[in-house]
């Protein structure tokens, strides 16, 4: 352990500094008045189960963009009253990261069939179609339908009089689950974590009613922890399930997807707030088109400087974690296991740009705190 710490310390400083340098430019855009927006076609998305009723049956097709986005919109609506102290007009809802990410995937063509075997998701075909061949769409299924069914199991739709039916795709049916019972068989740990998150969320209303202050940092942090624990579980399960889908996309795009999945683990450990405003700000970093076989960051001419450097930083973080056999992530999680550590981690992610000279000292401070804090127990996220 004594021999490894200096190497790991240096790796953490270099790798995280690269990632944070990317994040810092996003804050520049926010301060410059970068606009935020709702997902594509948001006004056309059903906001309640009434929009899915067909002859006294509730039918949701998660392989249609509007239907899948509808599950997110319903989750935002039914959970709003439990998070009214997180931000005005439901903008502080912890679930905003999910529909905004799904909207980015749709807008950038990542939900379409990349194999060219069909016109699913293509502008020349059914543009709202979500392909089972798309790695991104399959990964997202575990972050859309599973959370929705978790809310169903937690009782958020108990007053709805009709049975809710989730339609399977035409192919690869066995890769997915469509009701709570089947999901507990296919991905039991992930299903249980999403149900637990929604069950815990219901209790936050009691907390907010029993306190004088409209903001309760400790309880809010717990909500973020439960959400991120479920979120990371979905990604972990999907990564194992859909690795073969990566063969349909270019090597740079596949590397970006894997690197992004790796980075989520680091972000999750800070209990980072994926509310409406923060997600919009950070999402401008992600490449606004599918990457081609000839793309090599940071020299992709039709991507912005920020998008190029984000790709580089994500790749550096992934390679660093891979080279250390996952120790870099474990080290970061350990440093984030206290509220003080998470505050410092979030502060670095959010405000490093305000004083770039503090980036490396800030990381060093977190590392030293980890070294001294031997009794701190990491959270699941």
User: pTM score, two decimals?
Assistant: 0.85
Look at residue 380 in the predicted model and tell me its pLDDT. 58
Q: List average pLDDT for each run of 10 residues in the chain, which is 381 residues long.
A: 38 48 45 65 96 93 98 97 91 96 97 92 91 97 98 96 94 96 97 97 66 54 94 96 96 96 89 91 89 95 88 82 84 82 75 41 63 62 57
Count other C-beta atoms under 10 Å from residue 196's C-beta: 16
Residues 6+ apart with CB under 8 A from 147: 71, 75, 95, 98, 194, 197, 198, 230, 234
According to DSSP, the β-strands at 57-60 and 164-166 are parallel
Look at residue 11 in the predicted model and tell me its pLDDT. 46
- Secondary structure of residue 219 in the 3-state scheme: helix
Token readout for 358 is: 């503090």
Angstrom distance (rounded) from CA 195 to CA 293: 40
Token readout for 237 is: 């399960």
Look at residue 237 in the predicted model and tell me its pLDDT. 96
Look at residue 111 in the predicted model and tell me its pLDDT. 97
Look at residue 347 in the predicted model and tell me its pLDDT. 73
Domain boundaries, the chain: 1-34+250-381, 38-247
Residues 6+ apart with CB under 8 A from 315: 255, 256, 259, 297
Nearest 5 degrees, angle CA 279-CA 280-CA 281?
Answer: 90
Query: In which residue are the tokens 């520049």 written?
Result: 28
């Amino acid at each position: 352990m004594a021999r490894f710490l200096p190497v790991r310390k240096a790796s953490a400083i270099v790798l995280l500094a690269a990632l944070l340098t990317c994040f810092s430019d996003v804050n520049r855009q926010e301060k410059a008045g970068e606009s935020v927006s709702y997902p594509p076609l948001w006004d056309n998305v059903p906001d309640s189960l009434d929009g899915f009723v067909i002859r006294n049956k509730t039918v949701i097709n998660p392989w249609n963009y509007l239907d899948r986005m509808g599950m997110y919109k319903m989750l935002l609506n039914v959970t709003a009253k439990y998070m009214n102290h997180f931000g005005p007009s439901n903008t502080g809802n912890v679930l905003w990261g999910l529909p905004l990410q799904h909207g980015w995937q749709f807008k950038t063509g990542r939900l379409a069939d990349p194999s060219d075997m069909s016109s699913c998701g293509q502008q020349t075909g059914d543009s709202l179609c979500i392909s089972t061949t798309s790695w991104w769409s399959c990964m997202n299924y575990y972050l859309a339908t599973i959370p929705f069914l978790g809310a169903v199991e937690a009782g958020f739709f108990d007053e709805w009089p009709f049975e809710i039916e989730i339609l399977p795709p035409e192919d690869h049916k066995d890769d997915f689950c469509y009701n709570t019972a089947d999901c507990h068989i296919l991905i039991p740990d992930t299903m249980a974590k999403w149900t637990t998150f929604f069950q815990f969320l219901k209790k936050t209303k009691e907390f907010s009613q029993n306190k004088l202050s409209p903001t309760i940092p400790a309880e809010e942090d717990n909500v973020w922890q439960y959400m991120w624990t479920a979120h990371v579980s979905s990604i972990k399960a999907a990564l194992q399930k859909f690795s073969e889908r990566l063969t349909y996309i270019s090597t740079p795009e596949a590397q970006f997807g894997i690197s992004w999945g790796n980075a989520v683990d680091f972000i999750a450990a800070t209990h980072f707030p994926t509310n409406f405003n923060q997600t919009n700000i950070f999402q401008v970093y992600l490449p606004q088109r599918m990457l081609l076989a000839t793309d090599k960051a940071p020299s992709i001419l039709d991507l912005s400087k920020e998008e190029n450097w984000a790709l580089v930083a994500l790749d550096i973080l992934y390679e660093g974690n891979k080279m250390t056999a996952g120790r870099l992530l474990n080290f970061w999680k350990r440093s984030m296991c206290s509220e003080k550590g998470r505050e410092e981690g979030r502060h670095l992610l959010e405000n490093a740009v305000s004083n770039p000279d503090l980036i490396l000292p800030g990381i060093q401070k977190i590392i030293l705190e980890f070294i001294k804090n031997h009794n701190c127990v990491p959270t699941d996220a």
